[in-house]
């Protein structure tokens, strides 16, 4: 299975704690200092959006951003 067709929820759950919030999941964004839970994941659409730092996309974008973060 390629990253572009992978399940974003399973991928993100390896790096952050996810909590249910209506039709989405939310958690502390791993890409910036986040005191709240500004990252939202839509399991139905397989996309994420952080309302703190602005990062967004699907599984491929999440994986790329995590890999860049781990290189720093």
Q: Tell me the pLDDT of the chain (72 aa) as tens digits.
A: 455 558 999 999 999 999 998 899 999 999 999 999 999 999 999 999 999 999 999 999 999 999 887 776
Dmax (CA) for the chain in angstroms is 34
pLDDT at position 51: 97
The pTM of the full predicted model, rounded to 2 decimals, is: 0.86
Structural domains in the chain? 3-71 (3.90.580.10)
Q: Which residues pair with 19 in a beta bridge?
A: 26
């Amino acid at each position: 299975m390629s990253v572009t067709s992978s399940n974003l929820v399973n991928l993100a759950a390896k790096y952050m704690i996810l909590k249910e919030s209506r039709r989405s999941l939310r958690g502390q964004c791993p890409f910036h200092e986040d005191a709240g839970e500004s990252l939202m994941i839509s399991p139905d659409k397989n996309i994420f959006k952080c309302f703190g730092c602005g990062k967004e996309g699907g599984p491929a974008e999440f994986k790329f951003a995590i890999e860049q973060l781990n290189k720093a």
